[in-house]
Amino acid sequence: MFITNKLIINEPDRDLYRHLIPPRLPSQYSGEIPSKVMRYRNGDVTEAPDFYWLRDTNSGPHGQLLRLDGQGGHVLDQSNMIYTGDEYKTFGVVACNPLLPIMVAEHDPLVSSGHWDLLRIFHPTNRPGLSQVATDNSRMGAGGGPVPYVAGSSPSWMPGLVPRTYRSPRSGAPRSAGLGGELPIILGLMALNAPREPGNTSVHNVFLGHNRIWRHGQWISTDAPRGRECSSLDH
């Protein structure tokens, strides 16, 4: 199960070169707009209507994934306490500008301060052409460190998931063998395909319904994401 919440930024930071970048401190955000809770199973995404996300800032910065029973009450665990789902991983993914098209934070920006870094790609030597989105702390196999370009040529998911500024500079690059790596980052890249809006309902059309863009485990759009239209040079 996963959620793709929209961060509300009060004021962006700037790097040494005066480029706008996401804030590092939780106090520089005014909250989030949660998405529905969604479940990925057997290549497709469905809504998980018995789950919902709650971040009660009065009791602490951490959010909780809660579950409801058939009568609308909270499901309890074996200790007779309100059941909360276990967290797998939390990442922040933001579209910035043409020089810093995608930045990633390996933490919940509303909980702890931390560094945002440029999206990087790991190239496993045993899978030529496979691009794996990663951070320096990601578990990686044999290969060099993550780099700011994809492993293969002519990937079908560019510019839909990764901007064209990430195309391989190698003239002899093998044919693209797909996109993998940190799943939360990939989900964030998918969410950027949702059109810009004050709320966060359009993101559901990326994953749910008859017109969803990710279906049967395949990304079917060849268009540049509307959610990062001012953050790339794809047009």
Q: What average pLDDT does this structure show over 108-132?
A: 96
Residue 193 belongs to some domain of the structure: yes
Q: Judge contact between 22 and 29, C-beta under 8 A.
A: no
Q: What average pLDDT does this structure show over 197-223?
A: 93
Task: Look at residue 99 and tell me whether its pLDDT is greater than 80.
Answer: no
Task: Look at residue 232 and tell me whether its pLDDT is greater than 70.
Answer: no
Dihedral pair phi/psi, residue 206, rounded to 5°: -70, -40
Range of the domain at 98: 90-219
Task: Look at residue 229 and tell me whether its pLDDT is greater than 80.
Answer: no
Residue 153 belongs to some domain of the structure: yes
Amino acid letter for position 192: L
Please tell me the predicted confidence (pLDDT) of residue 227. Answer: 59
The count of structural domains within the chain is 1
Q: In this predicted model, what pLDDT tens digit does every residue of 42-81 receive, in sequence order? A: 889 999 999 999 999 888 899 999 999 999 999 999 999 9
Residue 4 belongs to some domain of the structure: no
Q: What does the chain come to in residues?
A: 235
Q: Kindly provide the residue ranges of all beta strands, DSSP E only, lying in the chain, ordered along the sequence.
A: 6-9, 13-14, 20-21, 29-33, 38-41, 44-47, 51-54, 64-67, 92-97, 100-105, 117-118, 120-122, 131-134, 179-181, 214-215, 218-219
Amino acid letter for position 152: G
Q: What average pLDDT does this structure show over 152-176?
A: 95
Q: What average pLDDT does this structure show over 223-227?
A: 75
